[in-house]
Chain A
Amino acid sequence: MSSFWIILTGCLVASSCAILGCYLVLRKMSMVADAIAHAILPGIVIAFLVSGSKNSVPMLIGAAAFGVLCTFLIEFFHKKVRLQKDASIGLTFTWLFSLGVILISLFAGQADLDQECVLYGEIAYVPFDVTYYIGQIGIPTPTIILLGMLIVVLLFVFLGYKALFLTTFDQEYAIALGISTTLWHYFLMTMVSLTTVVSFESVGAILVIAFMIVPASTAYLLTNQLKSMLLWAVAFGVVASIIGYFFAELINGSIAAAISTVLGFQFVLVFLFEPKNGVITKNFTRKKVAIH
């Protein structure tokens, strides 16, 4: 039974992340998302110390706040201080992450947080964190929260579909129509912060990036339609969660890391063998033509 909850939790994380990841990849914000995922660590620790629990609103607020802070600092260093964009990103997230690690280290006793948790989460412990029951069956709290997160993400993408499409594809046209690209940028980054914090306990702060960027990129290679890209990304995420779980069990390793590995494997497969543009299929068909 606990396998079921673990896999389900993994799938929920993967789905939320994959959907947001599609927009991140298309907006060329993969590394900014990486930065935010690192930067929210101090927010999580502080919120945790303040509220004493992992499944709390303060955590969400703390994370969102640091996500916004990170986005803001990057812009500050880039525009005001005149530091180049890549260095602004690098500087901001490393120092915020360092702050987070130091806080964890200082308050290790008081907080049920350790460095491993930060890195790759403890999804295996999810089934034991139960506070809600339907009859005899206990539903783990993280799972409920992640289900809620997925619903929020779906609502966000559904309601904001046109705005996201517009601001992702053609910023100039969006501004000309009077639609604020900055606003939607912050919306998206906030969603990334929130998703990272709720996924944090399950998969850790760093691997969450794999869940966002890799299935979305794999889907991007496969399709030319936004809607199917979103679906494929989720599909890859879900499949990787399932396979990853069993793989981890087999070799006795971290589940989140195993899922990331499978995601990578999927990417390589599609990269090489995608029917029209896969690196190997392209060479193969070229050879075929040459023979004739």
Chain B
Amino acid sequence: MSNFLDFFSFSNANIRYVVLGVILLGALSALVGVFTFLRKKSLIGDAIAHSVLPGVCIGFMLAGNKNPYFLLGGAIIAGWISTWFIQLITNHSKIKQDAALGITLSVFFGVGILLLTVIQNSGNPNQAGLDHVIFGKAASIGKTDLLLFIIVGAVIISAILLFYRNFVLMSFDLTFAKSTGVPIKAMQFVLSTITVLAVATGIQAVGVILMAAMLIIPAASARFWSNNLKTILLIAAICGALAGLGGAYVSYLAPKMPTGPWIIISATALAVLSMFIAPQRGLLPRWIRRLDFKKKIIDENILKAFYHLGEANGDFYADINTTALLAKRAFNAGELAKRLKALTRKKLIVKHGDLYALTETGKYEGQRIVKIHRLWEIYLSKYMNLAEDHLHPGAEAIEHIITPELEALLEKELDFPTTDPHQKEIPYKKLNPS
């Protein structure tokens, strides 16, 4: 508990730098990541991230020590070269995108490891901690680093603000963007550059191997919540920042643990949460909607059965027992009982002892479905050339998903027919004089 308070009171200046640093990095990577995510090129971030390693090492070798400007500069140049390399391979040979990414990623990384091991074996005392670039070490973020992050962050955000409109167009519809004269090549150059910048700075928190996750995961989380680019950017930035915070906290609790993996675990947790509960696209809401729809179908079939019995008897509001309903349609007895209760609650039917009868609302609802069914049979027969014995099952499938708008369209299209293919009357709702 004291650890928690110590950490979150931010009284310690070092902790402040670290926390600000990871939040900034998390948010920046997420912002940049949204654009690569939307263009479905997330894995390029992975290739770039692995590729900066040799740049960092060369920067070290030139500076003789872990001078952040040299390391960052080296990372940026290497990252930049890797994007050029990937393009070169795909444009000038039969090698496909995935292999180009794999080649670039593994070869650059291999060269990087080679340089790193050479440096480590050279006995230069300054190299201690250089390997943190691989798995990340948020705890080592200091004042200079933070300043650097802020500068890079300013560049990235300026670029996004400046070219926002173009980025929006390109992310959602590239062909349209081209046709409206967006300078695609230049914009892609800008996007590559800010990606490289985000990666080069972000690796301090999560390292090169997991950097891709910081580009991909917050963006993926955000995507589940919204279709609007501004909202996606905001949510992604928040997820990225929170993930950074989570990882930094763990790093504080267990200094020997590398931060990177914990940041990723935090980001993943947020992503999985989003995947489950996000209103439109989350798994849980989708599942609930599906269940609701199944219930709707049974309810509507019950009302239909009532209506058909009413048509046969000449009295729509007569009492019906469950046996009659089961004879009309092969309901599952347990489900039938449950839904009858629900329909009573919704006041579409009333209970009279062991029997049930339609209310007026219930009758009109049943009528509506039967009407749609019969209209749809006409449509199937007229426009879909369906054989007569296939009309009924076909309409059974569709009647539950015809919305009121479609219903109106259907009536109009068929010109308000009075009977269906089986010569049954089509029950239009009679307008009440009041």
Contacts and interface: CB of A to CB of B under 8 A. Distances in A.
A contacting B, Cβ–Cβ less than 8 Å: yes
Given A90-B46, A209-B106, A95 B268 contact: yes
B260 A213 contact: no
Interface in B77-118: 88-89, 92-99, 101-103, 105-118
Smallest CB-CB A-B distances: 9 pairs: A260-B110, A264-B107, A30-B102, A210-B106, A98-B261, A94-B213, A257-B114, A257-B113, A90-B216
A99 interface: yes
A83 to B, nearest CB: 6
A70 interface: no
11 contacts: A25-B96, A31-B101, A98-B261, A102-B265, A116-B131, A120-B117, A213-B99, A213-B103, A251-B118, A260-B107, A277-B94
A84 B94 CA distance: 25
A257 B93 contact: no
Contact of B107 (A29, A82, A267): A267
B111 A29 contact: no
Interface in A212-264: 213-214, 217, 220-221, 248, 251-254, 256-261, 263-264
Nearest to B46: A90
B93 A33 contact: no
Contacts of A213: 99, 102-103, 106
Interface SS majority for chain B: helix
Contacts of A97: 209-210, 261
Nearest to B36: A86
A105 interface: yes
Contacts of A117: none
A28 interface: yes
Contacts of B252: none
Interface string B367-387: 000000000000000000000
A111 interface: no
A271 B111 contact: no
Given A101-B260, A258-B114, 9 more contacts: A84-B42, A94-B213, A98-B262, A102-B261, A102-B265, A105-B261, A206-B106, A254-B114, A263-B110
A91 B268 contact: yes
A120 B257 CA distance: 20
A25 B97 CA distance: 10
Contact of B220 (A30, A91, A214, A259): A91
Interface string B127-171: 000010011000000000000000000000000000000000000
B185 interface: no
Nearest to B41: A86
A81 B216 contact: no
A207 B53 CA distance: 13
Interface string A87-107: 101110011011101100110
A280 to B, nearest CB: 10
Contacts of A221: 93-95
B270 to A, nearest CB: 11
B430 interface: no
B271 interface: yes
Contacts of B106: 34, 206-207, 209-210, 213-214, 260
Interface in B247-280: 256-258, 260-262, 264-265, 268, 271, 275
Contacts of B41: 86
Interface residues of A, number: 58
A33 B216 contact: no
A98 to B, nearest CB: 4
Given A120-B113, A263-B107, A99 B95 contact: no
Given A90-B217, A91-B271, A94-B217, A209 B105 contact: yes
Interface string B345-375: 0000000000000000000000000000000
Contacts of A257: 110-114, 116-117
A214 B46 CA distance: 17
A119 B113 contact: yes
Contacts of A261: 107, 110-111, 114
A61 interface: no
Interface of B: 37, 40-43, 45-46, 50, 88-89, 92-99, 101-103, 105-118, 121-122, 131, 134-135, 209-210, 212-213, 215-217, 219-220, 223, 256-258, 260-262, 264-265, 268, 271, 275, 281, 283
A80 B50 CA distance: 30
Contacts of B275: 81, 83
A14 to B, nearest CB: 13
Nearest to A258: B114
Contact of B105 (A34, A90, A251): A34
A53 B44 CA distance: 37
Contacts of B223: 83
B272 to A, nearest CB: 9
A279 interface: yes
Contacts of A207: 106, 109-110, 113
B337 to A, nearest CB: 33
B210 A98 contact: yes
A221 to B, nearest CB: 6
Contact of A253 (B43, B117, B135): B117
A95 B265 contact: yes
A81 B99 CA distance: 26
A125 to B, nearest CB: 14
A102 B262 contact: yes
A115 interface: yes
A86 B121 contact: no
Contacts of A120: 113, 117
Given A90-B42, A120-B117, A209-B106, A30 B101 contact: yes
A267 B261 CA distance: 32
Nearest to B97: A28
Contacts of A209: 102, 105-106
Nearest to A259: B110
A25 B215 CA distance: 25
Contacts of A91: 213, 216-217, 220, 268, 271
A94 B399 CA distance: 46
Contact of B121 (A90, A105, A106, A252): A252
